[in-house]
Structures are given as structure tokens and as C-alpha cells.
Structure 1
Amino acid sequence: MFLCARSVRFTLPLILTLLSFAPRPTLAGSSSSLLGISTDGKLLACSNRDSGTVSIIDLDKNEKVHEIKVGRHPEGVTFLGDTHKLATAVYDDDVVVFLDADTGKQLGQTEVFDEPYGIVSTSKGDKVYVTLDYPGRIVEINTKTQSVSNEFSVGQHVKGLAISNDDQSLFSTEYYTALVRQTDAITGKTIDEWEGGSTDNLARQITLHPRRAKAYLPHIRSRITVAHGAGSIFPIVSIVDTKPADGSRRKKIPMDSFQGARVTSNPWDTAITPDGKTFFVVFAGTDDMFVCNVIDDDYRELTFRARLNLGHNPRGVRVAPDGKTFYIYNALDFNIVAYDTDTLQRRATIAVTENPHSEEVLLGKRLFYTALQPMSSRLWISCASCHPDGQPDGKTWHNPEGLRNTQSLAGMAWTHPIHWSADRDEVQDFEHTIRGPLMQGRGLVTGRINDSLKAPNKGLSQALDAMAAYSNTHEFTLSPHAKQGLSPAAQRGRELFFSKQTKCATCHSGPFYSDSNPTDKIIRHNVGTAVDNPGELMGPEYDTPTLLGIYRTAPYLSHGKAQTLEEVLTVYNHDDQHGVTSQLSKQERADLIEFLKALPYEDPVPQAEAAGLVKVNK
């Protein structure tokens, strides 16, 4: 159709107006990772989670120039705009720490509510955005004043974070569901979201394509109905089409069948070259990575280019701004390895920190995270697939003995025996799991092993004892709900908890709020919950779990059917067998829940030591 000059004069402004309101595809910004590279390509920052430090690497010399103490378990790190200043999210200390990479000095810190994980900077460096794993928020921090300037809820257990190149949109991932949410960075309102499948799990990172409206997230599938090494855990890269549209806009690419029959495990981080043509994904369980070609066809998306063997437990990958080099962080080798993007040849190996563990604990941690022999023969699963960094995976598994809600490992050293059914009295008994249908590994003991709860397996294998030593290192952090002490409601709840009226402390006693402890006598209780687990084979009596950290570990009970603490006290407390709570008023239940959410409000270890409780070291 041809338009006369007069019609163009009136139509063009209208077209421009309409275009200004049309949704604009969001392209690449920056994404959170344990690694960050300055925009001039001169410096690399690395969060050393185990050491509690951030290392600064001079990329011209390929050597460490600074290592800065920041606190317990730093996670994401980002440079601030085009500067050499940076910020890191310190997970266990609930702070964001600001650093000067040139001087190696701290510039200050900002306290946040709890568990900061992912962090990204605006292009000007005037703001950083931080995900809070618990309770599922994004916090905006003004980098000049180092103060929180905005905060909004974006789901539950949010970890991964990326920011668009126009600084207008934030993309976050829910850790236990792999849901991707696009949020307006100014208003905090949800723009769009992409749900994962019912089995999608452990989505801790997201990367935006630099030229296409695509987002990439590594995660796993936890197929909870199959307790078998060949069908329970699967490695996935999901690709989200971020253009506003109807219909399916999310594609899963299984990484265990992406290159023939080569199985990989626990995808952790991804990166894309600046030209958008090459995609990298690292696998923390099988200690390798895939290098892929990006296909601009909205169908295949990725094709295989190469597989590289890496070091122990690779958790980070980043590409230099010129695209010529990519860097891998081998978390349990405590080094970064530089590779040539074209030839894939190794260029340099850079030590970033010293091993902060004993040699025994380091060996145990490597075993815990690997999906290779002797731990697993099928390569799909490691201990960390269900207990990443000692946390639960948020799932309830259909085990042969019945439904089993995955438990945290925090405080386990003080609360043996292990499992809901107390069927293991030492970590070494998990040699049965390593050799069994779930992991199908060769095992860590040569020859016959003892039955669980019988003669000890401790001492039969140095490697097995090392894995036990690592597994027993996990500790609690204090509840964010009691940073200012117990609230009046929590104080009232405490009185109820310890009262003869509710009898909560009959079983949930002592510094760890559990009557389980490493003694020869195993204590189990029938609290009426087995009736909600029709496939139960080992109940109806269960071990008493600790209540510390319960504010963040939903779902609850052995069968995982209670989604809230309110449901624990009401729906699933049959005939008051699990504490006498039916007579409580709505306000009293709310007070009791406030107290439970405040646990732990003090460090339990000094009390445990004073009481003469036994800690299992391995």
C-alpha cells in the first residue's frame, strides 16, 4: 500500500507512539556467579565459599593479587559498572560486602534480612540487586550510600539473578521449582514468568543471551517417585523465550543425552560468549563441561561442540569481554583455569585460595559431591544432588520404606542417629546407599560391610571415614526472625512450647530441640503421622528431628505433606499425639509458630558442650 505525504505525516507519530508501548525483548545484561570479570577485562573476582574470601586475579599476569576476607560462605560477586569496585553476597552472615579490587580493601557492608545469594550491578554501578534465598526477595542497594533502597518479594527460595542490558528488568529463579520470573527493576512488579515442570529443582543460576531474547538456566530434575540411580536425578538446561507471546516459551534440553550416551551430573553454572555463538555449562557432579554452538532457530537451540574434563567440583564459568578466553572455577581444587575459546586449550592455572579444610574433610567433601566412581556408576547422582551444601532439596521422595522428606544436615553431628526412621547410627552406614540401587557405586570399603545399627563400619575405610567427617561439619546459622531477640509473640510461644500443657519439649528437648543424641540407646516416638503415609514400612515410630532452622525447611514431617507449621499443629496432629495443640486459640498457635520460626535464636553448641552432649566428628 502506498501512502501520500500527508498521510505519512499523521501516521508516523501514531506508529512511534504505539511502538513506545510495545513490549521490548530483553537482551543480555549480567548474571550472578561465583566469578565476575571487570568490563575492561583486566581483573577477575572469585568468591571462595569455603575460605570465606574473595580473590582478585590480574588477568594480564594470570596471578592472584589480593585475597580479601568477607565472611562465612560468600556466593555471588559482581563488579560495579565499569569500575574496579565490586560487591559480594555473604550467605551465612546476611551481608553484602563492598570491596575495592585495586587496593584489596573492604569499603563497607550492608545488612540484609537473610541468605543473600545472587547479585548483579546496574550498568552505571549505582545499584546492586541481591536475591535472598530465604524468604524469597530481591533487595536493591544504593552503592553510594550502601543502604537498602528497595525490596520486593519474588517467590520462594530465590537464588539465580540476571539483569537486562537496559537495567529495566530482573530475571530470577526459584531454587526448588526452577520457575523463572521477570520483575520490573523499578516497581518490583512481575512482568512475566515461566513455570518449570513438577520435577524441576535446584535452579541456582540464570544467563541472558547477548543478542537474542533468550535466558538459559542449569538445573536438575528430581524424579521423586524413582529411588534408583538410573531414573531419579537428571541434568537439564532450560531455555526460556523472553519475548512476550502466547503458548509454550520454555524448552528443556536433557544434558545426559545431549552427547550420545555420556551422562553428566549436577549442572551448576552457564555462560555465553559476547558474540552469542558459544554456550558453556559446567557439571559439578561429573567434573566436566560441555561447549556448545548456539543455533538461532528457536528449535534445536544448542548443538554439541566439545566436552572438557575439569577439576574437582567446578562451580563457575565466565567469558572474558573480548570473548577469547573463558575461565573455570574448580571449587574443590581452589583454582581457576583459563582456556582459549577457539582451541579449547588450557592457558593458565591460577590458585585462588588455600585449602581451608583438613585433608580428611577435603577428601570427604570431594566424595560427597562427585557422581563418579567409587560413589556412583551411573553418573546421574551424588550425595549433593539431594543435600547441596548440606541443605535439603525441598522434595519428598517415594523411598522403598515410605515417603521421606529430605532433611538438612545441619547439626547432624549432635543428633545421631540418622534418617526419619533412625535406621543409621553413623554416617559410615551410608556405604549401603552407595552400593545400593540408588547410587550403584563400587563403594568405599573393600570387602564386606556390617549391617546398619550393628557393628560399626567406622574404621573400615579411610575414604568412608573422610566422607563422614565432612558430612558432620554442617552447622546452623541463627534465625533471621530473632536478630533483635525474641519478639513478644515468640516469648509467649516459648512459654507454650515448654509448658506441661502442650508437651512439645517432651521430645523436642535440649539445645538442639531433639532427644536424639549419639548414644547406644535409640529413641523413637509414635506421634500419629504414619497414618498419612500409607506406604510406610518402617513406622509408626520415628526419630525426633531437630527444630533448629525449621523456619526455612518446609515441607514438614516425614511424609512432607505439611506445607506450613500451622498444618503441623492442626491438620496433621491427629488426636494431639504430636503435642497437645488442639485446645490452643488461633493467637496461641500464632505465638507458638513465631517461637518455632525464631529457632535457633542462640548458638546451641556451648549449651551442648556444657551439658556433656557428644559430638560425632566422623
Structure 2
Amino acid sequence: MAARKVIQTVPVGDEPHGVLTDRSGRHLYVLNTSSDSISVIDTASLAEVKRLEASRSPWSLALSPDGSRLCVTNNLSRFVPFRTPSMSEVTMIDTDRAVVEDRAVVPAANLLQGIDWHPSGRFALITLNRTKNLVPMTRLLQGWTITNGLGIVWRDGRVDQVLLDEPGQCFPDPADVAITPDGRLALVTSSGSDRVAVVDVPRMIAMLQAATDHDREHVFPNHLGKPTEFVLKHIAARNSPRGVLMAPDGKTAFVANALDDSLTLIDLERLEVAARIDLGGPKVITKTRCGERLFHSARITFHRQFSCHSCHPDGHVDGLTYDIEPDGLGASPVDNRTLRGILDTAPFKWEGTNPSLRRQCGPRLAVFFTRIQPFTPEELSALDRYICTIPRPPNRYRPLGAELTDAQRRGKALFERTTTNDGRVIAKDNRCITCHFPPLYTDRSRRNVGTKMALDRESDFDVPHLNNVYDSAPYLHNGIAETLEEIWTRYNPEDKHGVTNDMTKDQLNDLVEFLKTL
């Protein structure tokens, strides 16, 4: 640190996000967001000594006041059965042994992101969304499409949930939470509404403890009126406030405004903004930056309930299947798709009915999703520009310039094959390479691959691109396949989705290994 230079690079998992040492400083924990794991690094040798299994997309971590437990939030829900509410997890690590000791379940919630421990050590607070993805968006006017709130994770693994939304005033995309050193207040950022909520922690805990078990489990997680009992105030920040940190003396909070390149300083005695610190970002706001701000802003939706980011966090996926109203109530549930690298992959929607992003994000979005005035032409152009620039991360299965492994080469041959194992010619339209040819690995058509189910009104679906396909589970139009393997082992009985039933297990493994390199 004194020399201010990099002394060593330590390989960890894919897309490392959060880092924290244990109290002794012996181990450094690194969250590998895209490989769903936690690297444990020995700080003396600077080597990874263990890799723990997280849930899906571990995001933030916090150490208990006594240093014995590390809690990790996970951004995505666990895989759940088809047409089943989400089920998320807080992963709890015993720091003495560097092992996972518990997995606290957070039902019907997703996008668990921020976390902070109460100084008493009795509980931690986490931010969360409660996405009603199985309920058509006819409930948007009642504030019941995506609700936003806090989880109270008790030391014994129990979890309470309360909302931060209020009737007519939602609190979209809660991103982080920090508790004052005296445990009296918690500050929660809303990146979708550019505000910070000030929570009276003792009052919130007293409300929970005075309630029945039934109300804590079934009423409070959905009650829009309860926040008025413990939210003291909302404080305006700047564009997309995310991180929040308390000063050690408990007098000031620092809020990081991600899309304003600034810090908002909050006076915790007066509960008002004390100052803004400019971090030296660009002075000219480009069209792409304007689009990025629109993407992350909930002002585009009725009562500011959600933003584009709510379903596509940072341009990726929330891993959920949605019941979209125009398809019919309860009909045609669709898997949410990533926006990473979608330039030149039109048409859009699983039914392939939108020829461009401007059509996808234009008046249709206002009618069926946001329920307010559509974007202006200038806003729509900026949003289109931003979405088209969302990049794909480097492929962890094939570093740039690396040669294919033997298994990947065998998989490539299977992907491009024209005959089966016994020499039968595979019809051209049923070859992998026909529908998924490089460089985008989509022919941008609609195909019937035999996956229509009872709830679907169509049998032909858009051919998705396969770039970074390993990072966009679940799969198929309705998200029913949890893994790439399941596409063919469970949902291709008639060989309509490529001819695969003649493949051996080893061949299918090779095919999957190749697909992961795309």
C-alpha cells in the first residue's frame, strides 16, 4: 500500500464484485457474481485456498459485529419450478472455519443487494425487490407489480420482510443500506427514484415484534401502508444513488450517485443534504449517458414503481419468467432475456414480433408496462443508443485468442454436423448451425422447436443469439430449462430442437462445452 502499486494479481471466479476481509485479516472473501461462488484468499500467501458455493449472483457482503459471521446477499433467485414464486438466499459463512454454515431463505423476493449489520449483532438489514412476475401487470395501478423493501435477517436465520413503498409513492430499486453506529437509523438508497429513505430502526423492529406470526409472514411483506410507521423521511440525492456508507462518528452519511459521478453528504442530525462532492466525471452528457439515466430511472412508470433496470439489472437478467398482460391473463409466460450484446439481433420478444428496439421500448412499453406517457422521440433514441452499447463481459470459457480445448473442438463438430452417429442425413433446417450461425449465432427467424406448452398461444419462437449463453440461465422461451443440458435431455424428445437423441452423454457434454465458448 505504501508503494501504491500492484504487487500481485490473484485469479478468482467470474465477474468479482464484493471483497471483504475477516476480522483477523487472515482471509479475504471475494464474491464471484457470474460463477455463483465465493473465493477465500489467504492474505499471507495471496493464494485462493477455498471456493465456497453461493446461491445465484452473490452481490454484497457484511461482517457481523463480533466477526464470527459473514453474510452474503445474492442478486438472483434460486432456480424454482415452473410457475413458482422466486426464492432467494442470504448465504451465511462461519469465518473461523471459512465454511458456509447456513442459507437463510427469503421467499418471493429477488435482487437482494445491499446489506449491513445492526451494531447489536442481532440482525442484518438487506435490500430486496418483491417482483410479482406470475401476476399479470393489471395490478400496476394498485402498486403491486414490483414492490421494494427491506429484509430483516435474524441471527438464527429467520427473515422478516417489510416494504418501503407507500401508496402513490414507491421506492424503486433499493440498492444499499447502512445503519448508524448507534443502531438508531438506517439509510436506504433508491437508485430508481434518486432518493434516500431514513428508517427508524427501533420502531420498525418493535412493529415486527408486536405482530403475530401470520402478519409477519403474510401481511407485512405486501402492506403498502406499513412504511409510514417507520420511514421518517426521504432525502433527495442525485442520479442513481447506490452505495451508502456511514462515517465512524455517526454524524454524516456518504451516498454514491452512480450516474452523476458525485457523492451526496447527508447530515444525520438534521437529516438533510449537507454537501455534494463532484468526483470529476464528464461535463458533457452524451446521448448514450442520457439513455443510461433513462434506463435506470423509475420516473418512466406509474407511481415510479420500477425502471428498466428492475427487470434487467445493469442490462442483464433477473432470471425470472413473466406473465405479460397482452398475451392473455395466465397465457404465454416468457423468460426474461439479457440485453447484453443484443445489437443486430432483432427481432425482439420471444414471439419475434418487434422489429426494432424503438418498437420494443416505444408506445407498446407505455401501454402494457409503464402506464404513463411514452418516451419522447429524443428519449427513445437515447434509450436505444444506450441499450445497443451494453457490452458482453469476457467469456470465461474461452479467453480472447485462446484455442479451443479438445472437448470444445469435438462439441464444435457436433454443432456443425450434417449426419447422425449412424450416418443418417440431418435435415438442413434441423441442424444447429442453420439457425445459429456465426458471428451472432442467430438467423433472426422464428422456429418451432417443439417447446410449445399448454399455456402458450404460439408454437414458433424467436431464435435467440448464443453469445455468452452460459450466463443467461434459465433457458427456452418460458425459462423451463435450468441448464443448457436440460434443453435436450428433458425438452427435446422429438428432435425438433436439433437432432440430439442419438448423442451419447459424452457427446452432449462436448456440445455444451462448445456452446459455453460462444
1:133-152 equivalent positions in 2, closer than 5 A: 133-152=33-52
User: How far, CA to CA, are the matches of 1:165 and 1:598 in structure 2?
Assistant: 43
Of 99, 105, 113, the match for 2:13: 113
- Retained in 2: the 8 A contact 1:364–1:463? yes
Q: CA RMSD in A?
A: 2.1
- Retained in 1: the 8 A contact 2:32–2:39? yes
Amino acid in the other structure paired with 1:422: G
The 3-state SS of whatever aligns with 2:369 is coil
1:53-452 equivalent positions in 2, closer than 5 A: 105-177=5-77, 178-197=88-107, 199-228=108-137, 229=140, 230-243=143-156, 249-257=158-166, 261-295=168-202, 298-300=205-207, 303-355=230-282, 359-372=286-299, 375-400=300-325, 401=327, 402-429=332-359, 430-445=361-376
Amino acid in the other structure paired with 2:312: H
Q: Indicate how the Cα distance of structure 1 residues 426 and 444 shifts in structure 2: closer, same or farther if over 3 A, else same.
A: same
Kindly indicate which of the two structures has a greater share of residues assigned to helix.
2
Q: TM-score with structure 1 length normalisation?
A: 0.72
Gaps of 5+ in 1: 1-84, 86-99, 446-460, 517-522, 600-618
**Which residue of 2 is the match for residue 486 of structure 1?**
404
Q: Deviations over 1:3-35 (max 9, x none)?
A: xxxxxxxxxxxxxxxxxxxxxxxxxxxxxxxxx
TM-superposed deviation, 1:126? 4.5
Q: Indicate how the Cα distance of structure 1 residues 298 and 326 shifts in structure 2: closer, same or farther if over 3 A, else same.
A: closer
1:461-610 equivalent positions in 2, closer than 5 A: 461-483=377-399, 485-501=403-419, 503-516=431-444, 523-530=445-452, 532=453, 534-537=454-457, 539-599=458-518
Q: Deviations over 1:283-312 (max 9, x none)?
A: 111111111111178442682221111111
Q: Deviations over 1:304-334 (max 9, x none)?
A: 2211111111111110011110011111111
TM-superposed deviation, 1:442? 1.4
Runs (4+) of structure 1 exceeding 6 A deviation are: none
The 3-state SS of whatever aligns with 1:109 is coil
Q: Deviations over 1:470-527 (max 9, x none)?
A: 01111222322234643322221111011113711110111121112xxxxxx21111
The 3-state SS of whatever aligns with 1:305 is strand
Q: Indicate how the Cα distance of structure 1 residues 388 and 357 shifts in structure 2: closer, same or farther if over 3 A, else same.
A: farther
TM-superposed deviation, 1:160? 2.1
TM-superposed deviation, 1:186? 4.4
Q: Deviations over 1:149-194 (max 9, x none)?
A: 3222123322221123343322112221231121223434332221
- Retained in 2: the 8 A contact 1:377–1:442? no
- Retained in 1: the 8 A contact 2:493–2:501? no
Q: Indicate how the Cα distance of structure 1 residues 297 and 319 shifts in structure 2: closer, same or farther if over 3 A, else same.
A: closer
Q: Indicate how the Cα distance of structure 1 residues 387 and 130 shifts in structure 2: closer, same or farther if over 3 A, else same.
A: same
Query: Aligned residues, how many?
Result: 466
The 3-state SS of whatever aligns with 2:30 is strand
TM-superposed deviation, 1:553? 1.5
User: How far, CA to CA, are the matches of 2:90 and 2:310 in structure 1?
Assistant: 21
Amino acid in the other structure paired with 2:406: P
- Retained in 2: the 8 A contact 1:163–1:169? yes
Percent identity between matched residues is: 30
- Retained in 1: the 8 A contact 2:116–2:177? yes
Q: Deviations over 1:439-480 (max 9, x none)?
A: 1121223xxxxxxxxxxxxxxx11110010001111222322
Q: Indicate how the Cα distance of structure 1 residues 225 and 155 shifts in structure 2: closer, same or farther if over 3 A, else same.
A: closer
User: How far, CA to CA, are the matches of 1:284 and 1:227 in structure 2?
Assistant: 25
- Retained in 1: the 8 A contact 2:264–2:275? yes
User: How far, CA to CA, are the matches of 2:7 and 2:478 in structure 1?
Assistant: 47
- Retained in 1: the 8 A contact 2:22–2:95? no
TM-superposed deviation, 1:107? 4.5
Q: TM-score with structure 2 length normalisation?
A: 0.85
- Retained in 2: the 8 A contact 1:434–1:441? no
**Which residue of 2 is the match for residue 97 of structure 1?**
none
The 3-state SS of whatever aligns with 2:76 is coil
TM-superposed deviation, 1:144? 4.5
Amino acid in the other structure paired with 2:387: S
User: How far, CA to CA, are the matches of 2:207 and 2:131 in structure 1?
Assistant: 24
User: How far, CA to CA, are the matches of 2:283 and 2:273 in structure 1?
Assistant: 26
TM-superposed deviation, 1:108? 4.0
Amino acid in the other structure paired with 2:253: F
The 3-state SS of whatever aligns with 2:362 is helix
Q: Indicate how the Cα distance of structure 1 residues 190 and 127 shifts in structure 2: closer, same or farther if over 3 A, else same.
A: closer
TM-superposed deviation, 1:271? 0.2
TM-superposed deviation, 1:105? 4.6
- Retained in 1: the 8 A contact 2:168–2:303? no
- Retained in 2: the 8 A contact 1:225–1:232? no
The 3-state SS of whatever aligns with 1:240 is strand
Amino acid in the other structure paired with 1:154: A
TM-superposed deviation, 1:211? 1.4
Amino acid in the other structure paired with 1:409: L
TM-superposed deviation, 1:116? 0.7
Q: Structure 1 residues 586-595 or 474-483, which shifts more?
A: 474-483
Q: Deviations over 1:578-609 (max 9, x none)?
A: 1000110111111111111222xxxxxxxxxx
1:16-27 equivalent positions in 2, closer than 5 A: none
- Retained in 2: the 8 A contact 1:290–1:304? yes
TM-superposed deviation, 1:263? 1.5
The 3-state SS of whatever aligns with 2:368 is coil
TM-superposed deviation, 1:566? 1.5
Amino acid in the other structure paired with 2:435: C
User: How far, CA to CA, are the matches of 1:213 and 1:545 in structure 2?
Assistant: 47
TM-superposed deviation, 1:104? 5.9
User: How far, CA to CA, are the matches of 1:138 and 1:391 in structure 2?
Assistant: 21
User: How far, CA to CA, are the matches of 1:379 and 1:225 in structure 2?
Assistant: 20
Q: Which has the larger radius of gyration?
A: 1
